[in-house]
Amino acid sequence: MLDGDFGWLKEASKRRRYLVGVSGGADSVALLHLLQREGFQRLVVCHLNHGLRRRAASADARFVERLAERLGCEFRGGREDVGQCAEMWGCSVETAGRRARHAFFAECGRKTRCRRLLLAHHADDQAETVLWNLLRGSRGASGMKVEQSLAMAGLSMQISRPLLTVSRARLRSWLESQNLSWREDATNAEPMAVRNRLRNEALPLLEEIAGRDVLSSLQKAAESDAELREIETWAVEQAEVLDPQGRIHIRKLMSLPPALRWSCVFDFLRNHGVQDLGRGVVSRVLEMLVADGSAFLNLPGGGRMRRRQGRMFIE
């Protein structure tokens, strides 16, 4: 078994149905095999062809479908032209891909009546997320959570990331030791995507400069940040900022210190599936607090924040 914190795998109910996002890459293939070996029997393998790599992408889809069949798992496949979506939505290919995946997972969730989604994010992904959030100035040293509720295309999903403390290298080493195959995504080595540059250039350079395990340091930073967020969440809950309909009560929000107001709005937007959250988006929402009468703000991804009768909500 891999070293790492696998408390989720040990504690989760094996009888429940779970959606599992599987791209065919080493990370998601390792997750699927680990789940199967731990006795999870009601797994729905979900694979989205992004339409970016043509023949290679089709081969990925066939690989994942055959793997699901071999392991006795239900398979759900989909296809989206993410490049075309990026042009239509006026966003990056990365953002379009994330939105397309969310919509696909939500569709799978509705068709299978399953709201639990397992993703194969690992320690390297966590480090990239922390660095990117620091560079954007959006959320300090925040990272991904092992457990998270998130709205995907209007559907509330419970997301779990069992591999978040395990490095990419360790996952690949384990697959090799078990003689398990996976698909390589050539786009992971291409320099144009921000994530790829963080992965292939920034993190190795930081390790060289620091002379220590940067993945572990960034993981600890994310954990410390998460502890602070728990305190913030508790304070917001005590103030009863959200009304019974899940809308922001403006007067109660204004009673909080500025830092807590910012945190509350950020979490509200993120939990409603708003993507590309930088300081600018949150700041513009906060400006609505002092607007006269009703006000609205178009959000990244197509939603709209509305201020009306002392409440703020997304429509």
What phi and psi values does residue 295 have, to the nearest 5 degrees? -150, 160
CATH classification (class only), 7-188: alpha beta
Where does the chain hold its CATH 3.40.50.620 domain(s)? 7-188
Per DSSP bridges, beta strands 116-118 and 155-160 are parallel
Question: In this predicted structure, which of 17-26, 57-66, 181-190 has the lowest mean pLDDT?
Answer: 181-190
Looking at residue 77, what is its pLDDT? Answer: 96
Q: Each residue of 176-230: pLDDT tens digit?
A: 999 999 998 755 555 457 778 888 888 899 888 988 788 888 888 888 888 888 8
How confident is residue 118, by pLDDT bands cut at 50, 70 and 90? very high
Question: In this predicted structure, which of 76-90, 174-188, 229-243, 289-303 has the lowest mean pLDDT?
Answer: 289-303
Looking at residue 141, what is its pLDDT? Answer: 74
Longest dimension (CA), the chain: 65
Mean pLDDT of 65-72: 96
Q: Taking 90 as the threshold, does the pLDDT of residue 148 lie above it?
A: no
Looking at residue 220, what is its pLDDT? Answer: 87
Looking at residue 139, what is its pLDDT? Answer: 66
Q: Which residues are annotated as a binding site?
A: 23-28
pTM for the full predicted model: 0.80
Q: Taking 90 as the threshold, does the pLDDT of residue 61 lie above it?
A: yes
Q: Taking 90 as the threshold, does the pLDDT of residue 9 lie above it?
A: no
Cβ contact 45:28 at 8 Å: no
Mean pLDDT of the chain: 86
Where does the chain hold its CATH 3.30.465 domain(s)? 239-314
Task: Give, for 275, the enclosing helix (H) or strand (E).
Answer: none
CA 113 – CA 121 distance, rounded (Å): 24
How confident is residue 154, by pLDDT bands cut at 50, 70 and 90? confident
Question: In this predicted structure, which of 78-82, 131-135, 143-147, 274-278 has the lowest mean pLDDT?
Answer: 274-278
Q: How far is CA 168 from CA 21, 39, 54, 162, in A?
A: 17, 23, 26, 13
Looking at residue 303, what is its pLDDT? Answer: 79
Looking at residue 188, what is its pLDDT? Answer: 58
Q: Taking 60 as the threshold, does the pLDDT of residue 238 lie above it?
A: yes
**Three-state secondary-structure class, residue 116:** strand
Choose which CATH entry (3.40.30, 3.30.465, 1.10.3470, 3.40.50) describes domain 239-314: 3.30.465
Q: Which residues are annotated as a binding site for ATP?
A: 23-28
Looking at residue 138, what is its pLDDT? Answer: 64
Looking at residue 4, what is its pLDDT? Answer: 53
What order of strands is seen across the sheet that includes strand 116-118?
A: 74-79, 42-49, 17-21, 116-118, 155-160, 147-152
